Chain A
Amino acid sequence: RKEVEQDPGPFNVPEGATVAFNCTYSNSASQSFFWYRQDCRKEPKLLMSVYSSGNEDGRFTAQLNRASQYISLLIRDSKLSDSATYLCVVNLPFNNDMRFGAGTRLTVKP
């Protein structure tokens, strides 16, 4: 099983749509989880951390299910500027290292 697995997409949605991305991780001892976004040929940028109780930042909602080792990201009211690749990132236990999923590509169309 891959350390971090994501649906690669692509997801093509109209403006205003709600879209959800899923991610699973293999190490049950992982403690920290993040969503990053990456624009074409740019560096990954932190979008949000994922907390155990779930958390929301504007139009973005992240959820964590430790029992299923599953993380999700929900984007409401999609904007054209949301078009990017979304990377699920999970830490390795006992050190500060992170592992990246392959990313899910989102295209929001007018």
Chain B
Amino acid sequence: EPEVTQTPSHQVTQMGQEVILRCVPISNHLYFYWYRQILGQKVEFLVSFYNNEISEKSEIFDDQFSVERPDGSNFTLKIRSTKLEDSAMYFCASSAPGDSNQPQHFGDGTRLSIL
């Protein structure tokens, strides 16, 4: 069964440093998403991406965040200057095109630890 893959599985970074989280969505999917989940809290929407542009972003997704699909397979989330509160699990998801909303399929996440 095709799956969404994310790398790295765990990233430890000093506060103020840039970090890039990588995702390879399922190959025929057209909608891509990033979510974050702080330990013990709910899954929070960050951003959705379709047709090479951001469809929607949440209040969390401020100027420190950016997304890119550089080569048609990878989908990346960049945090420019990390803060302690960016420590969380980051999930990438993708969904297929369809007439009605398709379910999203999640990667197994990147645990980001900011020191």
Residues of A within 8 A of B (CB): 31-32, 34, 38, 41-46, 49, 87, 89, 91-92, 95-103
Contact = CB atoms under 8 A, between A and B. Distances in A.
Contacts of B109: 42-43
A96 B101 contact: yes
B106 to A, nearest CB: 4
Contacts of A96: 31, 48, 50, 55, 95, 101-102
B42 A103 contact: yes
Contact of A34 (B41, B43, B103): B103
B34 to A, nearest CB: 12
Nearest to B98: A96
Given A41-B89, A44-B43, A100-B44, 9 more contacts: A32-B100, A32-B103, A43-B109, A46-B103, A87-B43, A89-B103, A89-B104, A100-B43, A100-B45
Which of B33, B50, B89, B106 is packed against the most chain A CB atoms within 10 Å? B106
B107 A43 contact: yes
Interface in B33-76: 33, 35, 41-45, 48, 50, 55-56
B42 A100 contact: yes
Contacts of A42: 108-109
A54 to B, nearest CB: 17
B101 A45 contact: no
